[in-house]
Amino acid sequence: MERDRDYERRWWTLGVLCLSLVMIVAANASLNVAIPTLVRDLHASSSDLQWVVDAYSLVFAGLCSRPAAWVTGSGAGWHSTAAW
C-alpha cells in the first residue's frame, strides 16, 4: 500500500516541478521583453542588465521551490525554511 502511494506521489512531484519550471521560464520571458524599457528608462549597462536578470531568476526560483516542497510533502529540512 505504501509503495503504491509513493509511486503516485512521484508523478504529482514531477508535475509540480514542471509547473514551477514553466512559471520561471514565463517570468524570465516577460523580463526579457522589458529589457529595452529598462535600458531606455534607467540607462542600464549590459552588466546592470545581467545582474537584474540573474537576481530575478534566482529569487523567483527560490520562491517557487518552497510551495513545491509543501505540495509534494517532501519534508524538506531547515535549508528550505531558512528564507521563511
Q: What's the confidence (pLDDT) of residue 75?
A: 53
Name the residue with higher pLDDT: 27 or 72. Answer: 27
Among the ranges given (18-32, 39-53, 69-83), the one the predictor scored with the smallest mean pLDDT: 69-83
* Contacts by residues 6-15 (CB-CB < 8 Å, ≥ 24 positions apart): 9/72, 9/73, 12/71, 12/72, 13/72, 13/74
Predicted confidence band of residue 21 (pLDDT cuts 50, 70, 90) = confident
